[in-house]
A and B are shown apart, each in its own frame.
Chain A
Amino acid sequence: MSDTSPDRAPGASAGPPAQVPDGRELLPTATRARTRAAVRELVRPHRRLAAGGFAVMVAATAVGLLVQPLLGRIVDLVADRHPPGSITLPVVLLVLVALVQGAATTAGLSLVARLGETVLAQLRERFVERALGLPLEQVEKAGAGDLTARVTRDVSVVGEAVRSALPELARSLLAIALTLVAMAALDWRFFLAALIAVPVQASTARWYVRNAVPLYAEQRIATGAQQQQLLDTVSGAGTVRAFRLEEEHTTRVERRSSAAAGLTLRGVRLVLDFYNRLHVAEYAGLAAVLVTGFLLVRGGSVSIGTATAAALYFHSLFTPVNSALVLLDDAQSATAALARLVGVADQPSPDRPPSPSGQDERSGAGDPRAGDPHRPPAPHATTAAVNATPAATVTVTGLRHAYEPGRPVLHDVDLTLRAGERVALVGVSGAGKTTLARLIAGVHRPTAGSVRVTTGGAVPGDGLTVALVTQETHVFAGPLADDLRLARPGATDGDLRTALAAVDALAWATALPDGLDTVVGDGGHRLTSAQVQQLALARLVLADPPVAVLDEATAEAGSTGARLLEQAADRAVEGRTALIVAHRLTQAATADRIVVMDGGRIVESGTHDELCAAAGSYASLWEAWSGTRTAHPTPTHHRGTHHRNSSTHHHSPDTTTVKDH
């Protein structure tokens, strides 16, 4: 172990950018053909808008091309020694052209933007709908970053393209096409001369895209790595200082920043080389057009004015050609981003779940998700009462699970949670508690066996059957009330207050600067980790499912906070069938029943006292946990304070009388 110590010099431990863990399965990406088809499908309902926008843009560009012949006309009038007054007409026409072109461009760009933005909005809405409907298992297999990257980077890349690149590209391409047509109209030989530049431009564009796409991809990775390192270092500044890692972290940032800067400069060089080649094309084309003009004027087939117009036409092509070629790269990355969006947006919609895999023996009715996966906003007819849903029975039969084939983590688990029963799941880390919890909550499909949820009465509306609250938390950005209403869209302010009160959160919530309207989450008011968990429990109360699964939902708080959270959790699951994965045994000790897991199997089951008396693995766990406690009041006294139907929940830790036993 000490053989690597010499390498541990500061700075030596920063590895390459985080590698994707093995066995990742990225979310689907659409093929080129499918992407095109999807865009066609999205545009089809707006095809009149599309046709109108295109027509107006063509008209605007075409009108603009009258400028050069009008200027040529002036040159001719002067060359033919017409009186100065004769140029007034073409000048007036020039002004007219300018006004018409401006107006038509305004109209055309508006129409194109309306088309692009409407289609984009539809695409992103469908994307978000399908993304939120993806089975969690699939999202996790792909890695958390995949979906996040799509919803942030890809949506913004496509948005940016629709907003700026698309209109610009359309305008440039139209200008190029119509200018070439106009040159051909002056004389077809001008058109041929202009084409001399095309091979150089085409090869330059191909060369650029070939180099730019991988380079920019590399740049994005490097910039992302730099950003990640900065966030790591800055948000962990306290830890960095405490461990005296300042030098190492500065070096890490320095290295990442240098890498990003190096790639930026490589990109700069690429663009500059690109322009250099385009300058060659510009010169070749311009010289060819001038020579053609010279020859045609000498041969008498065109006037000096026409030759001038042709030269001016070609000179005016520089700008649209350059911008169109630069935009090729944007278009390329937008297409790739679009393919990733369409890949997710093409996933079956949540109300048509994918057909179960062959190994899945969960009966449709037994699968809380497959049986009722649709779950539109639950009407919750009875909004007045917080806990109106009758509890349900959960029957787990012969449940087996393996995340990777050949490495089973659950072996033939049978378990019944009776209606309204509060069951604590304990065991050492890696015993399979979380896996069992997740299978019951329907996050994963079991390799074998079934989970059956039988509700005693009718669940109001299409309400949620099993809710899962884990130690992983998130506060949704926006007003606190909106966050809570995600769990029950129709909840009144009174409902929200009742739910918050149930988890002891009403006091701090109303004390927030704007009460329940306080903006929380990213960029808003910062909540403590205990408050965030209380919020998660309040959402559970509002979602009001017959079955609740809590997986170490109280673990993130410090030990003092944990106790308060446990009390809140107890109240949140009251009246529900609850499975609580507990790492603090006091929480387990107060449950109706304790189930002990070890090595993926259930090894013990019973009340706290039964298990303690049985002197099995729970008893030794309890021994280890309580340590000196055996000589002192045992927590069994809590059972006395925990009547399921009691309306007050004073969890007085000082109670010394043992009531029930």
Chain B
Amino acid sequence: MSPTRPSGRDVLRESVGGQRRDIALGSLLGSGHQMGEALVPVLIGVVIDRAVTGSDTGALFRWLGVLAVLYVALALSFRFGAWAGDRSAVRSEHTLRVALVRRVLHPGGGAEEGRLPGALANIATEDAKRVGGVNTALMYGISALVGILTCAVVLLRMSVPLGLVVLLGTPVLLWLGHLLSKPLETRSGAEQERAAHASAVAADLVAGLRVLKGIGGEPAAVARYRTTSRDSLRATLRAARAQAFQSGMVLSLTGCLIAVVALVGGRLAAGGGITLGQLVSAVGLALFLLGPLETLAWANAEFAQGRASAGRVAEVLASAHGVTAGGRGLPPRVRGAVRLAGVGHGGLRGVDLDIAPGELLGVVATDPAHATDLLRCLARRADPDTGTVELDGVPLRDLDPAELRTAVLVAEHDADLFEGTVRDNVTAAAPASGDPGPAMAAAGVTQVVRTLPRGEDTAVSERGRSLSGGQRQRVALARALAADRPVLVVHDPTTAVDAVTEAGIAAGLREVREGRTTVLVTTSPALLSVTDRVVLLDGGRVVDTASHAELISRHETYRAAVLA
């Protein structure tokens, strides 16, 4: 996207502009197809007139030949025109999807704030598709206009009054149909939504099947679903009746139009104003005209949807970054000295903290929210409201967040695993030359791998849900260790791990991170006991700093937080 803060209009313009050649080609060929379709009933009339009425064999074959040529032309125009139009839509959709993902993954972040992952994924699929659909709508819309024009020219050349009846009658008919169905449509939209609710409830109950069975809630759930299903049935039936009414109404109106055309055309033909064949053509054209007119109405609805979708896409693309890149770079060799000076953010109040290069520091926060605030600042997902965080003397806010993350890795408690094998996940961010073995051993993944059906090559699916909580945590920790960053901050890495394994992990972690700065934000005594020093955060402030053993013996709050 060229503008940095695009609007919905920009998104739409770029999407259409990027595919203008395909759209132009599609419109051209589509118009050819529409003209061809319009001429089919005309030719039927001509055959009746020139061949059937006068029993002229030569004329019959001549005009059937013309009809054949017409069919070849309209079929090929459709084939290649629609192809160009659909291709342009699919390409636009793909381009938008990739642009959206790039924006979401931008190191500055900010795009996913306030949006659920499902909603974002929906924008990248459904909305991108609708914006792409504008290309197709444009192509079909232009073709339909040309079809209507062709129809108009043919009819008016035949007879001005009959032409006017058809040309004015069809839009009036469509407009009437629209008018009649409008209130029904609004109602049926709302009712269909309620109908969709039933399937959502069923999916939700199945998703929670284990929980449900655990507490014996199946009969209650079945009863609840039945109520929802019946409600939905009633709503659907109302909607279906409305739709049936609309269909019947459109049929009646169309029939009346044909009757009017037959009346006017018949009288003209009887008076010798037009030929019999022209009467047949007029009736055929009146029926044909409904097609392109409906296409225009459809294209219009598509444009409206496309505009709304483009707006949603633009909102994501234009969302402000959470943090911005500063002008300074990292020193060529990061020592890993981290310094917090008067940091205030969220619940943190003037936190001062000096972490020496190579230190293994424990941080215990009495309030989990304060731990999260600290992690946000260290990861530079946000800049502190007051004070500064520095790495080797460079304030983080002066650094490009992408560059910062090559030096500082903050591994969150609920880190996601990605699709791929266990090994792929562990080595995802590891230096190409590194050996993931030590990291896997330290994080206890070696034992995990032994129990898995295909060892390291076992596929991880559904964001790691195919592993147990403890297995997932260990793989995530191994990934953080294997990434081998000068500074590593780990948050509660062993909450779902058994005690023996946890003790092993604590020792392994210390060994693997030897000489590089590591911060353990946790209240687990097993992990804290291997640290060089522990900082106690209480009420958002640093209230004490000492070794784990020292704090255990001298600080009651610490004991409460760690040993409960």
Contacts and interface: CB of A to CB of B under 8 A. Distances in A.
A238 B421 contact: no
Interface stretch (B144-152, B158-166, B203-211, B304-312): B203-211
A15 B214 CA distance: 35
B476 to A, nearest CB: 8
A28 to B, nearest CB: 16
Contacts of A203: none
Contact of B211 (A107, A238, A474): A474
A159 interface: yes
Interface stretch (B269-277, B295-303, B339-347): B269-277
B127 interface: no
Residue in A64, A136, A239 with the greatest tally of chain B CB atoms within 10 Å: A239
Contact of A290 (B44, B75, B563): B44
B451 A232 contact: no
Contacts of B52: 290, 293-294, 297, 304, 307
A600 to B, nearest CB: 13
Interface stretch (B2-10, B216-224, B350-358, B387-395): B216-224
A570 interface: no
Interface string B45-78: 0011001110101001000100110010011001
Given A121-B233, A264-B90, A269-B83, A250 B214 contact: no
A279 B71 contact: yes
B305 to A, nearest CB: 18
B185 interface: no
Contacts of A304: 48, 52-53, 276
A625 B503 contact: yes
Interface in B231-250: 232-233, 236-237, 240-241, 243-245, 247-250
B214 A468 contact: yes
B386 interface: no
Given A117-B233, A240-B105, A468-B214, A625 B526 contact: yes
A558 B368 contact: yes
A560 B203 contact: no
Interface string A208-251: 00000000000000000011111111111111111111101110
Interface stretch (A69-77, A353-361, A381-389, A501-509): A69-77
B172 interface: no
A350 B305 CA distance: 46
Contacts, number: 556
B53 to A, nearest CB: 6
Chain B binding site: helix, strand, loop or mixed by DSSP?
helix
Interface in A147-166: 147-148, 151-152, 155-156, 159, 163
Interface stretch (A30-38, A184-192, A538-546): A538-546
Interface in B409-440: 409-416, 418-421, 423-424, 427-430, 432-437
Given A265-B86, A486-B220, A95 B259 contact: yes
Interface stretch (A97-105, A444-452, A642-650): A97-105
Given A136-B209, A243-B479, A297-B52, A552 B121 contact: no
Interface residues of B, number: 187
A245 B430 CA distance: 11
Contacts of A79: 53, 276
B320 interface: no
A70 to B, nearest CB: 8
A241 B266 contact: no
A78 B250 CA distance: 29
Given A22-B453, A428-B498, A476-B205, A117 B237 contact: yes
B112 to A, nearest CB: 5
Contact of B419 (A18, A78, A84, A136): A18
Nearest to A263: B90
Interface residues of A, number: 197
Interface string A266-303: 00110011011001101100110011011001100000
B258 A98 contact: yes
A5 B434 contact: yes
Interface in B77-126: 78-79, 82-83, 86-87, 90-91, 93-94, 97-98, 101-102, 104-107, 109, 111-112, 117-118, 120-121, 124-125
Contacts of A125: 225-226, 229
A106 B206 contact: no
Given A257-B97, A279-B71, A241 B107 contact: yes
B131 interface: no
A470 B64 contact: no
Contact of A84 (B74, B232, B271): B271
A378 B439 CA distance: 51
11 contacts: A71-B280, A75-B280, A131-B209, A229-B419, A232-B419, A239-B412, A253-B97, A276-B75, A430-B447, A464-B216, A653-B560
Given A238-B412, A249-B105, A311-B47, 7 more contacts: A14-B419, A102-B250, A106-B244, A234-B117, A286-B40, A558-B523, A628-B549
Q: Which 9 A-B pairs have the closest CB atoms?
A: A98-B255, A102-B252, A106-B248, A474-B208, A464-B216, A113-B240, A235-B117, A109-B244, A236-B416
